[in-house]
Amino acid sequence: MTALAPPRLPTILPLGLARGALELRRFFRSRETVVFTFALPTVLLVLLGSVFGDHAEAQGVTSSQVLAAGMIAAGIMSTTFVSLGTDIAGDRDDGTLKRLRGTPMPAAAYFIGKVVLVAVTTVAQIVVMLTVAVAMFDLSLPDTAGDWLTFAWVFALGVVGCSLLGIAISSLARTARSASAVTQLPYLALQFISGVFVNPITALPTGLVVTASFFPVKWMAQGFRSVFLPDSMAAYEPAGTWELDRVALVLGAWCVIGLVLCLTTFRWRRGQDG
């Protein structure tokens, strides 16, 4: 009899994709989560957009169009940072992570699964918000390849950075119940100081703008304004230009910081498990 080589452990990527499929199935089966995940930023966009109305900002651009560009940035933070932060805290609390830890599933597959989940939900979120903005506020979609390219990299860097930060902050929450408070606070605060609700951003006190400049939302919003608004609107930015190089720099830096935070703070166990 020939000795059989021991069967090999499954490779990581297919496992990660299988986890992604499972995560999506779980997500779309819990109707409440689906409705509230997508509804919150969209409803805010509709409400605020209607309040601001078609008050003309300048250059034939309305306040609600400026708002829409910023709200898309906030929408990304909602489906990545807020969702992942609470979702993973929930996985820790309900025994999901503990069960997985008892199997040979590698941590990387778990994270790939979450990335797949977040990528799909965020794209869906953005499609919903763009549809609303185009239909209600006459937002025009970018018409040059360059603008679409900018949209793509701002989106990608924003999603990756905010997702990693969401994974990291999930470890800060002691329980799943506190996780939604822990994630909502930075989410709401950053929206207020990053020129999402208040436009132009220069209308905010300088201290707040400086603070916001250390975080991703301000730069995502600025990047999306460069995509959806005419270039003449750059005059309303703090620097008077879109500063796309700086957008890339700050968002890229947050991807790195987020990854480091994830790797150093992620824990499989609940705090009290010892």
Residue numbers at the binding site for ligand ATP (CB under 6 A): 272-274
Q: What are phi and psi of 62, to 5 degrees?
A: -100, 160
User: Which H or E run includes 120?
Assistant: helix 107-137
CB of residue 18 vs ligand ATP: minimum separation in angstroms?
31
CB of residue 176 vs ligand ATP: minimum separation in angstroms?
16
Which residue number, 106 or 252, has a Cβ lying nearer to other proteins?
Answer: 106
Which of ligand ATP, other proteins, none binds 95 (CB below 5-8 Å, type-dependent)? other proteins
Spatial separation of the C-alpha atoms in residues 41 and 26, rounded to whole Å = 22
Spatial separation of the C-alpha atoms in residues 36 and 114, rounded to whole Å = 18
Q: Which stretch binds other proteins (CB under 8 A): 26-34, 47-55, 137-145, 222-230?
A: 26-34
Count of positions on this chain that bind other proteins (CB under 8 A): 28
101 binds other proteins, rule: CB under 8 A = yes
96 binds other proteins, rule: CB under 8 A = yes
Reduced to 3 states, what is the DSSP secondary structure of residue 62?
A: strand
Q: Which stretch binds other proteins (CB under 8 A): 41-49, 55-63, 90-98, 228-236?
A: 90-98
CB of residue 123 vs other proteins: minimum separation in angstroms?
21
DSSP 3-state percent helix, strand, coil across the chain (nearest 5): 75, 0, 25
Which of other proteins, ligand ATP, none binds 105 (CB below 5-8 Å, type-dependent)? other proteins
Query: Which residues, 6+ apart, have CB-to-CB distance to 62 below 8 Å?
Result: 52, 53, 54, 55, 56, 137, 138
Sign for the CA dihedral angle at 49, 43, 123, 112 comes to positive
Query: What b/e sequence results for 57-80 when a residue is b if at least 16 CB atoms lie within 10 Å of its CB, and e otherwise?
Result: beeebbbbbbbbbbbbbbbbbbbb
29 binds other proteins, rule: CB under 8 A = yes
18 binds other proteins, rule: CB under 8 A = yes
Alpha helix segments (H runs only) across 30-106: 31-52, 63-77, 83-93, 96-101
CB of residue 96 vs other proteins: minimum separation in angstroms?
4
3 binds other proteins, rule: CB under 8 A = no
Q: Where do contacts with other proteins occur on this chain (CB under 8 A)?
A: 6-10, 15, 18, 22, 25-26, 29-30, 91, 94-96, 98-99, 101-106, 269, 272-274
